[in-house]
Amino acid sequence: MSIFKRNPEFLKLWFGTSTSTFGDALFTIWSVSIVYSSSKSPLLVSLVFLSGMLPDILFQPIAGAIVDRYNPKKILSISATAQTIPLIGVALLAYTDSKYLTASIIIFNVIESIFNTAYHNSVYVLTPATTQNEDIVSANSAIRSASEISNILGFALGGFLLAHLGSITAIGINVASFAIVALVGYFLKIPKKLENRENENSFQLNDLLLGFKYTIKIKRLRFFIIWAAVGNLALAPVMILLPSVVDRLHPGNEALLGLHYVSMSIGGLLGSLTLPLLKLPADKKFFVVSTSFLALFTAVIAFTSHTSLSLVCVCMISMTMVVSSIQVVSEFQKTVDIDILGKSISSFEFFGSLGLPFAIIASGFFSTVFSIESILLWAAVLLLAVATYAMVSDSLKTNSTGLEPSE
């Protein structure tokens, strides 16, 4: 709790992000259950994921540039408020039991994804702006820990709330969570340098390229982009085929699917809680070992016939990914000047996730041609290739600032 005493404004940001995650978790378990139970189609599930992912990827460069040009706390409030509008439309269709409900979920995902990209980029910038530099890793871990706890509660309570109170409850809680985030943005105190951005800056097309140019220039940051790009390609099948894996173990058991999502959140929580205690350096050994573990757990999921082992592997994959992602984001926040931080992180998110739409579509399509086991096995092989790249690369040989000694 000392991090909150030293950084009181960060406490507000932390509270807002954790609240919104709880509402999102309820909506996620509801929407995935609706789509998969009505279709039993991994391809349609992949389309739902794609509708929320593709706009996020494409909008990243613009969102990063906007966050660096204007007041990030206002962007936080505006983006949160804007997400409530299409969500209310989904609530109306759910209330009338419309046949267009699945289509409305996809449309909402597209709109929500655009504004959510701006929301997350503003959080990336506001975290170092409200936190002392030595607390950045702990701050990112605290945000992730709260988000995972919110996810666990959301996924665990989601089935109960939906069964007893209906779909409107899940959607209503999500709307309320966005309203809380908007209020947090309004009352948040940040440095005057960021507050006054809209009075002296105007958006320029060159802003879209500045972050990418800077990120590519530094070997360490360039490695993170390549690592994320290939790693995301490999882990996409795990995300898309998880309902099919669960259905293979226990056909028609939606509660077990929710339990796997809970296990995923528990893994993320364990990762975010242990990282500040372990103080692991973001070096070559860390990325080689962590990526190798991802390959191992993915291979086990492919062939296991035991529910408990599947739950453990999902938990460990999530734990490893959360630790790695916190390390990477913290490296950006400690290395990059705050005036181009949004653009730099958005460049990482854009190029690191650019192959995800292809991987999602391919996972859904190939699941109709190949076995789930063979697809997940190829994903494990790809992760081993990433671990090998981390082993032979010299990009992680840096000094304490995160820059190459020559720079």
The tokens describing 342, both together, are: 């949004």
Measure the CA–CA gap between 40 and 218, rounded to whole angstroms.
45
Measure the CA–CA gap between 10 and 8, rounded to whole angstroms.
5
Q: What is the DSSP string of 237-290?
A: HHHHHHHHHHHHHSTT-HHHHHHHHHHHHHHHHHHHHHHHHHT---SHHHHHHH
The answer to whether residue 407 sits within a structural domain is no
pLDDT tier for residue 201 given thresholds of 50, 70 and 90: low
Range(s) of the domain holding residue 155: 2-392
8 Å CB contact between 348 and 224: yes
Q: What share of the chain is helix, strand, coil (3-state, %, to 5)?
A: 85, 0, 15
The answer to whether residue 130 sits within a structural domain is yes
The most confident of the ranges 15-29, 160-174, 243-257 is: 15-29
Per-residue pLDDT for 208 more than 70? no
Q: Considering the chain, what percentage of its residues have pLDDT values greater than 70? A: 87
Instruction: Report the pLDDT value the prediction gives residue 296, as an integer from 0 to 100.
Output: 93
Number of domains present in the structure of the chain: 1
Measure the CA–CA gap between 365 and 160, rounded to whole angstroms.
33
8 Å CB contact between 53 and 360: yes
CATH number at residue 379: 1.20.1250.20
Contacts of 314 (CB under 8 A, 6+ apart): 242, 260, 263, 264, 267, 297, 301
Report how many helices (DSSP H) and strands (DSSP E) the chain contains, helices first. 18, 0
The answer to whether residue 179 sits within a structural domain is yes
Cα dihedral 361, 365, 366, 370 in deg (nearest 10): 160
- Each residue of 319-376: pLDDT tens digit? 998 899 899 889 888 888 888 888 888 888 888 887 777 777 777 777 778 888 888 8
16-19's contacts with Cβ under 8 Å and 24+ in sequence apart are 16/76, 16/180, 16/181, 16/183, 16/184, 16/185, 17/123, 17/143, 17/146, 17/147, 17/181, 18/143, 18/146, 18/147, 18/149, 18/150, 19/150, 19/177, 19/180, 19/181
The average confidence (pLDDT) of the chain is 81
Comparing 97-101, 183-187, 371-375, which segment has the lowest mean pLDDT? 97-101
Comparing 38-42, 83-87, 268-272, 349-353, which segment has the lowest mean pLDDT? 38-42
Mean pLDDT for 75-92 is: 84
Per-residue pLDDT for 401 more than 50? no
The answer to whether residue 397 sits within a structural domain is no
Instruction: Report the pLDDT value the prediction gives residue 78, as an integer from 0 to 100.
Output: 92
- Nearest Cα to 405, choosing from 264, 228, 219? 219
The answer to whether residue 134 sits within a structural domain is yes
The answer to whether residue 404 sits within a structural domain is no
8 Å CB contact between 212 and 352: no
CA 357 to chain centre: 15
- Each residue of 229-255: pLDDT tens digit? 888 888 788 877 777 787 777 776 667
The tokens describing 264, both together, are: 């995923």
pLDDT tier for residue 388 given thresholds of 50, 70 and 90: very high
The answer to whether residue 349 sits within a structural domain is yes
Instruction: Report the pLDDT value the prediction gives residue 127, as an integer from 0 to 100.
Output: 93
Mean pLDDT for 279-287 is: 84
The answer to whether residue 398 sits within a structural domain is no
- Each residue of 213-229: pLDDT tens digit? 777 788 888 888 888 88
Task: Tell me which DSSP letter residue 40 carries.
Answer: -
pLDDT tier for residue 399 given thresholds of 50, 70 and 90: very low
The most confident of the ranges 27-31, 94-98, 189-193, 382-386 is: 382-386
Measure the CA–CA gap between 280 and 112, rounded to whole angstroms.
34
The tokens describing 190, both together, are: 């940040």
Mean pLDDT for 382-387 is: 90
User: 138: number of CA atoms within 13 Å, CB side?
Assistant: 17
Please, is 70 exposed, middle or buried when counting C-beta atoms within 10 Å of its C-beta (0-12, 13-18, 19+)?
buried
pLDDT tier for residue 167 given thresholds of 50, 70 and 90: low
